[in-house]
Structure 1
Amino acid sequence: MGNFESVSLPRLKTLCLERNIYPNEASVESLISSCPVLEDLTIVRMNDNVKVLRVYSQSLTSFSVGYNPGDLIRKYNYYSEKVRENSGLVIDAPRLKYLTFNYERSKSKIVRNLSSLVKVNVLSAFDISSVVGCSEQQMAHNFFTGISRVREMIISQNMMEKLVLHLQYSFLKQGNPAILKDLIALPRRSSMCQIEVFNVHNGRALGIF
């Protein structure tokens, strides 16, 4: 996609950006913001020259973002090392109802103003990693807080095979050990869901429940 100074698409309601290469991050943000009535946006990414994808829209109701799984398989080392380094996704769309992550590989995911969200679809693995100034746990907390009002959430089987819980062992011994019992006692919708507890100091598993 070539560079452009300005564009206006006042009637466009559906937009699909598939495997494009952009001149810079600002061009993608400008393109999306130039669609004042945009309702349905799909972005299929590749090596698109965009480290942090920002989606700001007052009209958007449905958004799907991610990578083509075939591209990830063929270029696994490239995507896992180069593309994901300092990568991020920022979504600010107060009217958004339907959100899909399709093999989405960005390390940082920030969601804001998603009070209208009805359904979240997570396909394949879903990464939330630590970035500068923010721990992995804080990143995950911020993300799930951002989608806390969602009414329905669908998660792929390979992601839900095991829920891994990292707790500091000293906290369990000296703090409130009952928290672990409460977590284990939580009802589970699938027999595949497990809680695995690690000692964060040495990486040893304390148990699978």
Structure 2
Amino acid sequence: MATLRILVSLLALVAGPASALSVSELDVGEYSSNWSSPTLIASGTSMIIGVGAAGDTDIFRVGGLASGAQVLTLSLSGADAFTGSYLNGGGSIRYSSNPFSYNWDGLNPGDFGIAYDPYQPVSASNSLTDNRSITLDSSFGGTLYLAMIFTYGNAPLSYGLDLSSALLPSDPLVESPSAVPLPATAPLLLTGLAGLLLIRRRQHRAG
């Protein structure tokens, strides 16, 4: 887990403070399932991408978000795992402004679930995708603890938590005005001009 935290932090440093960053479980390795030691997501991250199957739990601590009331969007999909037969999977979400101690801590914005029968028409209840909203109230202080708890299913589900609406605006880079330096060739240029003026002055005297 320590290696994972270092990798996530390094990705943020490479991206820079003013650029948005997506963190994927496929790139950084398994997210933490330890309630007291969540995966640390660097400030400036705009999307958390992961995969979960029955029995998996992914737990995060996301800092550096805007405080106050806002809505985050969680999207889930079983399309990558679909093999042509019936597919299902689901679980629950927990979130909090305070660190988790147990799996019942925090709030549940609603369970998620996907059930898809390829022999039936696609509908709201028969789909490979699902979406959930996480509504943060006015007391939210800018640090989010989030747990994705996968409790059932016959296939893994991909998910993406969109944090872009909660990112703090980046401060514009303001540089103090400074003297414009002469290019490296300026001394040579000035010497050449002085020589031309000297030659012209001699020609003028000779004439």
Q: Common fold, TM-score beyond 0.5?
A: no
TM normalised by structure 2 equals: 0.32
Task: Work out which of the two has the higher radius of gyration on C-alpha atoms and give 1 or 2.
Answer: 2
The answer to which structure has the higher strand fraction is 2
Answer 1 or 2: higher relative contact order, Cα 8 Å, separation at least 6. 2
